[in-house]
């Protein structure tokens, strides 16, 4: 066969295969048996192997996945991918419709109503009818390029029908059908792998796989619901757009209703509520969109979402199940949390087996008893909660649940004494050496937002404590590598050791963790009231841990009552602190460092030679304020494709005392522009904002650290006064 003939034959086979794909997926009416389809497929593969330089990159064979790709490139959306405003009641929906009427000065406003698909938003860019690239929503401005993975989704056409516009950006959702989700989890169960929490996570996880062959094994699906950039095609309405998308072979979201009045909208929303559970994918709402594009233009958008669309969120699904037992968990600070053990039940698409009951007061309030039938829903569609007891179904022999009595007055993890602090509803284990507490504190220290010690997960943390290698979380830094390597994660009967490779990796990561900035350590220490944001703000106020322990400003701050919040804010304003740190946080931090535990901790840091420094210390930032050299005190916007992930660059800027904003405005100091990045660059240029490259940013970092050294030399560690 000549190369030319081969090319023609490959094209014919590709068209044939795509046609059968369409018949199979779109029309559910296959013309040929699977074996014959496979034969066509193999013929095409053989030809492509024989004539690789004539093979089409958009060949249907590419759907099986081309193997590993290196990380993900990032790309800016030519039109931002906005969010959508949620409406939580029919009243709110009616108010939205009234705003449309007012904004357009019309009584009737033609809109469509369709299911909100609980999937992963994606933009597919077709250039001259060929799938060119696919990008995730990302932060709405920039997303990950996931073309290879999207190619594996059979429902996504790689090539559109004849007469496609020169550029068509199709927006839609990639999702895992409910059925496929259930099967996938069953298979994972059998293979001893952890189950996915919900279909959306499974889909998102699949799309982030770096090996597209793996992606091809997940039966992902796609439906289109909108557009981004269009060239060579200017539809006047969404109806025209949908017609054209269908004609081009794109699967379009359905069912869809049309309405012109608020009554019609609400009727459609109610109808969809009945129907949605029988749809093949998860839905949590109905999307209402204005049909006419000129009307959309007139209504405009806010920074976050268009004014011409809204999502009606259905109240969470509620299911009944039986509460078989109540177990008690011991948290990081010793809090005893009762947890309901339930008969497994499917709620809003996931199987629920456990739900927190929070504390004794909550149990009393709801009068929850073992053996009760309870009503379960998922708060925010994620966290299962017991709504109430179905009293009519209460068996005769139940009795009120008393946590203290059930645990015999002792911590279920260590048999230590428990107590209820004044003003608190929760019982707490008072044993400072309780292994459950230590394991949870260790988990906090190694968590991603703290020291990020990847090799130490739940089981490793628990075993380290159980085997006595870690008594205090910081002991992790002195566990010998051999002890880590031989740590038994299994049982006496069935030992399973961590291994020397993993041990070496943990030791190496720990070495690097020593130099992480103060806020990461602070968050990891798990001091009460100190979450991620508070930790960052505390690090703005203090150069290192010693300074924090002796803090003058926190001692002043803790004397304010909640009513004096404004005074507290005034005290902090010069440091650019925005409100996470107030009297409560201050009191908690001061109490901690004045306690025995705090003193021991500081001594331990000294012994280990760990001297974590603030990466965003405000006085440094102030000293090199907006007109000084460096990054501190400046506002940056990042655009285009850069050599390292955006999050990383953002973190570096923040660590150096700078800020990163999402869009260019007058207060932007620098636009860091990589390749691409058109609209932001234009905006920056029009506002006279400096546009710099990555190298330019590196120079700013260098200038900043030079300034910082001078500052440090002049004024070492003087306590802060406002």
Chain positions contacting ligand IVH, by CB under 6 A: 82-84, 114, 116-117, 121, 137, 173, 225-226, 253, 287, 289, 306, 309
Could you count the other beta carbons within 10 Å of the beta carbon of residue 275? Answer: 12
Between CA 526 and CA 441 the distance in angstroms is 7
d(CA 233, CA 288) in angstroms, rounded, equals 24
| Residue 154 beta carbon to ligand IVH: minimum distance, rounded to whole angstroms | 20
To the nearest whole angstrom, how small is the minimum distance from the Cβ of residue 253 to ligand IVH? 5
From the CB of 561, what's the least distance to ligand IVH, in Å? Answer: 41
Our measurement of the distance from residue 428's CA atom to the centroid of its chain's CA atoms, rounded to an integer in Å, reads 31
Cβ nearer to ligand IVH, comparing 381 with 708: 381
116 is catalytic: yes
CA 39-41-44 angle, to 5 degrees, is 110
Which is the catalytic residue, given 102, 116, 289, 634? 116
Nearest to 516 by CA among 466, 467, 567, 445: 445
Least gap, CB of 366 to ligand IVH (angstroms)? 33
Q: What number of other Cβ atoms are within 10 A of residue 383's Cβ?
A: 11
Q: Which is nearer to ligand IVH, 285 or 384 (CB)?
A: 285
Question: Closest-CB residue for ligand IVH?
Answer: 121
Name the residue nearer to ligand IVH (CB basis): 114 or 372: 114
Least spacing, CB of residue 137 vs ligand IVH, in Å: 5
Vertex 460 angle, CA 338 and 529, to 5°: 50
Least Å from the CB of residue 25 to ligand IVH:
19
Nearer to ligand IVH, 18 or 282 (CB): 282
User: What is the bridge-based pairing of β-strands 257-259 and 221-231?
Assistant: unpaired
Which one, 42 or 254, has the nearer CB to ligand IVH? 254
Closer to ligand IVH by Cβ: residue 238 or 359? 238
Contacts of 112 (CB under 8 A, 6+ apart): 238, 239, 256, 257, 258, 259, 288, 289, 291
Residue among 164 and 174 whose Cβ is closer to ligand IVH = 174
User: How far lies 531's CA from each of 181, 449, 490, 561, 600, in Å?
Assistant: 34, 10, 33, 21, 22
Nearer to ligand IVH, 121 or 403 (CB): 121
**In the complex, what is the shortest distance from the CB of residue 285 to ligand IVH, in angstroms, rounded to a whole number?**
8
Nearest approach, Cβ of residue 117 and ligand IVH (Å): 4
CB of 59 to ligand IVH, least distance (A): 28
Q: Which residue has the tokens 């009416």?
A: 29
Nearer to ligand IVH, 171 or 514 (CB): 171
If you compute the radius of gyration of the chain from its CA atoms, what whole number of angstroms results?
30
Tokens of 474: 């910081």
CA–CA gap between residue 65 and residue 533 (Å, rounded): 41
The full 3-state SS of 567-586, as one line of letters, equals: HHHHHHHHHCCCCCCCHHHH
Contact indicator for 259, 111 with CB cutoff of 8 Å: yes
What the block records as the tokens of 14 is 């590709």
CA distances from 595 to 436, 475, 528, 655 (A): 21, 20, 13, 30
In the complex, the smallest distance separating the C-beta of residue 195 from ligand IVH, rounded to whole angstroms, is 24
Q: Which is nearer to ligand IVH, 266 or 287 (CB)?
A: 287
CA–CA separation, 720 vs 551, rounded Å? 8
**CA torsion angle 669 674 680 682 (round to 10):** 100
Q: DSSP label at 217?
A: T
Which residues neighbour 7 within 8 Å (Cβ) at sequence distance 6 or greater? Answer: 51, 54
User: Residue 127's CB: how many other CB atoms inside 10 A?
Assistant: 15
Query: Phi and psi dihedrals of 281, rounded to 5?
Result: -125, 165
Known catalytic residues? 116
């Amino acid at each position: 066969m000549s190369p030319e003939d081969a090319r023609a034959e490959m094209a014919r086979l590709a068209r044939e295969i795509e046609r059968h794909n369409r018949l199979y997926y779109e029309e559910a009416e296959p013309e040929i048996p699977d074996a014959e389809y496979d034969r066509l497929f193999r013929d095409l593969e053989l030809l492509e192997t024989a004539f690789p330089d004539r093979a089409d990159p958009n060949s249907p064979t590419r759907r099986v996945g081309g193997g590993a790709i290196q990380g993900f490139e990032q790309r800016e959306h030519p039109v931002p991918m906005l969010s959508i405003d949620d409406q939580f009641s029919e009243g709110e929906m009616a108010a939205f419709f009234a705003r449309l009427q007012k904004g357009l000065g019309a009584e009737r406003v033609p809109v469509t109503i369709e299911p909100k698909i609980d999937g992963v938003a994606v933009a597919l860019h077709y250039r001259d009818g060929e799938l060119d690239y696919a990008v995730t929503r990302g932060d709405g401005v920039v997303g990950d390029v996931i073309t290879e993975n999207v190619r594996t989704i059979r429902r996504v056409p790689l090539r559109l029908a004849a007469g496609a516009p020169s550029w068509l950006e199709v927006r839609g959702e990639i999702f895992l059908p409910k059925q496929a989700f259930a099967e996938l989890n069953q298979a994972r169960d059998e293979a001893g792998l952890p189950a996915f929490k919900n279909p959306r996570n499974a889909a998102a996880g699949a799309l982030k796989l770096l090996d597209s062959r793996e992606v091809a094994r997940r039966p992902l699906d796609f439906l289109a619901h909108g557009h981004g950039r269009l060239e060579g095609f200017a539809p006047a309405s969404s109806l025209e757009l949908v017609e054209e998308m269908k004609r081009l072979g794109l699967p379009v979201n359905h069912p869809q209703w049309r309405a012109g009045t608020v009554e019609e909208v609400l009727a459609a929303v109610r109808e969809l509520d009945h129907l949605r559970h029988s749809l093949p994918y998860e839905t949590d709402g109905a999307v209402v969109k204005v049909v006419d594009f000129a009307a959309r233009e007139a209504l405009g958008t806010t920074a976050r979402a268009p004014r011409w669309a809204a999502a009606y969120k259905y109240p969470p699904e509620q299911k009944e199940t039986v509460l078989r037992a109540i177990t008690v968990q011991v948290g990081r600070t010793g809090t005893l949390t009762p947890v309901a053990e339930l008969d497994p039940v499917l709620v809003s698409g996931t199987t629920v087996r456990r739900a927190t009951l929070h504390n004794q007061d909550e149990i009393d309030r709801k009068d929850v008893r073992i053996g009760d039938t309870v009503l379960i829903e998922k708060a925010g569609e994620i966290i299962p909660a017991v709504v109430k007891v179905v009293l009519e179904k209460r068996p005769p022999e139940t009795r009120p649940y008393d946590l203290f009595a059930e645990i015999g007055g002792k911590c279920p993890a260590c048999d230590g004494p428990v107590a209820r602090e004044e003003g608190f509803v929760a019982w707490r284990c008072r044993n400072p050496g309780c292994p459950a507490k230590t394991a949870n504190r260790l988990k906090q220290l190694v968590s991603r937002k703290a020291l990020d010690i990847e090799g130490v997960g739940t089981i490793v943390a628990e075993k380290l404590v159980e085997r006595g290698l870690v008594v205090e979380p910081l002991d992790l830094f002195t566990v010998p590598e051999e002890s880590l390597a031989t740590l038994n994660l299994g049982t006496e009967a069935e030992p399973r050791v961590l291994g020397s490779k993993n041990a070496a990796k943990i030791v190496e990561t720990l070495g690097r963790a020593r130099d992480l900035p103060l806020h990461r350590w602070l968050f990891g220490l798990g001091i009460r009231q100190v979450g991620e944001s508070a930790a960052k703000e505390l690090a703005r106020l203090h150069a290192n841990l010693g300074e924090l322990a002796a803090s003058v400003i926190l001692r002043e701050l803790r004397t304010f009552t909640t009513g004096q919040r404004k005074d507290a804010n005034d005290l902090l304003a010069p440091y650019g602190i925005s409100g996470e740190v107030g009297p409560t946080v201050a009191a908690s931090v001061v109490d901690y460092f004045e306690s025995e535990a705090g003193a021991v901790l500081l001594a331990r840091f000294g012994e280990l030679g760990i001297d974590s420094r603030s990466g965003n210390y405000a006085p440094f930032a102030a000293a090199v304020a907006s007109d000084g050299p460096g990054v501190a005190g400046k506002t940056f916007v990042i655009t285009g494709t850069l050599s390292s992930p955006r999050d990383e660059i953002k973190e570096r800027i923040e660590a150096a005392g700078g800020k990163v904003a999402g869009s260019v405005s007058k207060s932007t100091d620098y636009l860091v522009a990589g390749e691409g990045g058109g609209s932001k660059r234009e905006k920056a240029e029009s506002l006279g904002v400096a546009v710099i490259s990555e190298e330019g940013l590196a120079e700013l970092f260098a200038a900043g650290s030079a300034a910082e050294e001078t500052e440090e030399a002049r004024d070492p560690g003087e306590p802060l006064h406002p």
